[in-house]
């Protein structure tokens, strides 16, 4: 039987910024990934690794320098503004800071109704009914539609952001650190809500976070980014059970639950800061921090290698 085509296919995606003095900042430098229908891909890495830029270039909130982004068979990168605007109905974003992304002067109901107004959808009465339905879906009460964002808790504001993202019935939702600003107990509630909504609505997620423990609970597969590139990608259990890239192993060592189960990983705790993307090291970009670095690593960029179906990593140690 033929497998269904992925909902999202990204190939060779790059975002380079030309800076004063002839410098080039390679925020994203050749990313390939795909997301199936109803699937969640977690995208993790330290701050500044380019993971948020991947999300923004997929949405074309930032124009990619090169590469292909296909959503449901439609090439997004070459679309006119009008055609892109129509496609944006199919892909929505949830931001990290719900308060910054919600207009403080608008009532909550009007915030969630805004996408309907922007796209000229539905008569006023139906808009109100749909907003009330969205409130109920994300665990808010319809009577809260008349409140302003500052009258909600952080978790409730993120529920509002989710309701607004779902208004146009998208196929793909990109969560850009959607729970990072929330307390741990509230993080779990919001993740559980996203999982339930995915089951109910058949959504696909690109879930961007710096915390592997957070990503684990929602992701079917996980991609690990370092200095603008994906260095390992695997099914969630495979990544946690048999991590292959030294950087992934170091990230896992900083996850408390992984430490408890695998005490030996404490010895490989992540050292130092990542190099500046303005001056990435030659060869393997991770060699300045890698405990396994060899001479070859300082010269030659490792190519992605497949160790098992669906499990790839870019490291010279992998035969
Ligand atoms: S290629 Fe070399 S430096 Fe890079 S992760 Fe592998 S062993 Fe470490």
**Structural domain contains residue 136:** yes
Q: How many domains is the chain partitioned into structurally?
A: 1
308 Cα: distance to centroid of ligand 1 (angstroms): 19
CATH of the domain at 50: 3.40.50.300
87 Cα: distance to centroid of ligand 1 (angstroms): 39
pLDDT for 252 equals 92
**Least confident span in 7-21, 113-127, 137-151, 274-288:** 274-288
**Structural domain contains residue 2:** no
121 Cα: distance to centroid of ligand 1 (angstroms): 52
Q: Which of 275, 314, 317, 319 to mutate to test the pocket of ligand 1 (most atoms within 8 A of CB)?
A: 317
Report which protein residue has its CA nearest ligand 1's atom 3: 287
pLDDT for 269 equals 65
**Structural domain contains residue 242:** yes
Domain containing 133 equals 8-313
**Structural domain contains residue 319:** no
**Structural domain contains residue 1:** no
**Structural domain contains residue 54:** yes
Atom of ligand 1 nearest to the CA of 297: 2
pLDDT digits (tens, 9 = 90+) for 43-99: 999 988 999 999 999 999 999 999 999 999 999 999 999 999 999 999 999 998 777
pLDDT for 29 equals 95
pLDDT digits (tens, 9 = 90+) for 132-184: 999 999 999 999 999 999 999 999 999 999 999 999 999 999 999 999 889 98
Q: Which of 268, 294, 301, 303 to mutate to test the pocket of ligand 1 (most atoms within 8 A of CB)?
A: 294
pLDDT for 181 equals 86
Full DSSP string of the chain: -PPPPPSEEEEEEEEEEE-GGG-EEEEEEEEEEEE-TT-EEEEE-STTSSHHHHHHHHHTSS--SEEEEEETTEE-TT--HHHHHHHGGGEEEE-S-HHHHS-TTS-HHHHHHHHHHHTT-S-HHHHHHHHHHHHHHTT--GGGGGS-GGGS-HHHHHHHHHHHHHTT--SEEEEESTTTTS-HHHHHHHHHHHHHHHHHHT-EEEEEES-HHHHHTT-SEEEEEETTEEEEEEEHHHHHHS--SHHHHHHHHTSHHHHHH-GGGGGG---SPPPPTTSPPSSSTTTTT-TT--GGGGT-PPPPEEEETTEEE--TT--
**Structural domain contains residue 261:** yes
**Mean pLDDT to the nearest integer, 241-268:** 73
pLDDT for 275 equals 86
pLDDT for 271 equals 74
Atom of ligand 1 nearest to the CA of 246: 5
**Structural domain contains residue 148:** yes
CA-to-CA separations, 4 to 1, 73, 218, in angstroms, rounded: 9, 12, 22
Q: Which residues line ligand 1 (CB under 6 A)?
A: 245-246, 284, 286-287, 290, 292-294, 297, 302, 315-317
pLDDT for 268 equals 57
pLDDT digits (tens, 9 = 90+) for 255-309: 765 444 444 444 456 777 888 888 889 999 999 999 999 999 999 999 999 999 9
């Amino acid at each position: 039987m033929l497998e269904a085509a992925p909902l999202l296919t990204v190939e060779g995606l790059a975002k380079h910024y030309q800076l004063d003095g002839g410098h080039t900042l390679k925020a994203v430098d050749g990313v390939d990934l795909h997301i199936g229908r109803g699937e969640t891909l977690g995208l993790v890495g330290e701050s500044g690794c380019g993971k948020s830029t991947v999300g923004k270039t997929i949405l074309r909130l930032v124009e990619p320098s090169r590469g292909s982004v296909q959503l449901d068979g439609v090439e997004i990168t070459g679309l006119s503004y009008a055609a892109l605007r129509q496609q944006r109905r199919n892909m929505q974003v949830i931001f990290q800071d719900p308060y910054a992304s919600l207009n403080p002067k608008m009532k909550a109901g009007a915030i969630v109704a805004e996408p309907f107004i922007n796209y000229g959808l539905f008569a006023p009465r139906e808009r109100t009914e749909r907003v009330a339905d969205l409130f109920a879906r994300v665990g808010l009460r319809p009577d809260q539609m008349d409140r302003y964002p500052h009258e909600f808790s952080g978790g409730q504001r993120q529920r509002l952001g989710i309701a607004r993202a779902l208004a146009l019935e998208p196929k793909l939702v990109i969560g850009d650190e959607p729970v990072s600003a929330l307390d741990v107990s509230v993080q779990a509630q919001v993740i559980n809500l996203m999982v339930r909504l995915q089951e109910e609505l058949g959504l696909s997620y690109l879930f961007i976070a710096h915390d592997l423990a957070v990503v684990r609970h929602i992701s079917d597969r996980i991609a690990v980014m370092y200095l603008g590139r994906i260095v390992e990608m695997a099914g969630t259990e495979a990544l946690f059970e048999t991590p292959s890239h030294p950087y992934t192993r170091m990230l896992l060592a900083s996850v408390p639950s992984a430490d408890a189960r695998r005490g030996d990983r404490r010895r490989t705790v992540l050292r130092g800061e990542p190099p500046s993307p303005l001056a990435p090291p030659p060869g393997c970009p991770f060699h300045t921090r890698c405990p396994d670095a060899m001479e070859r690593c300082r010269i030659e960029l490792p190519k992605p290698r497949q160790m098992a179906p669906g499990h790839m990593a870019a490291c010279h140690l992998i035969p």
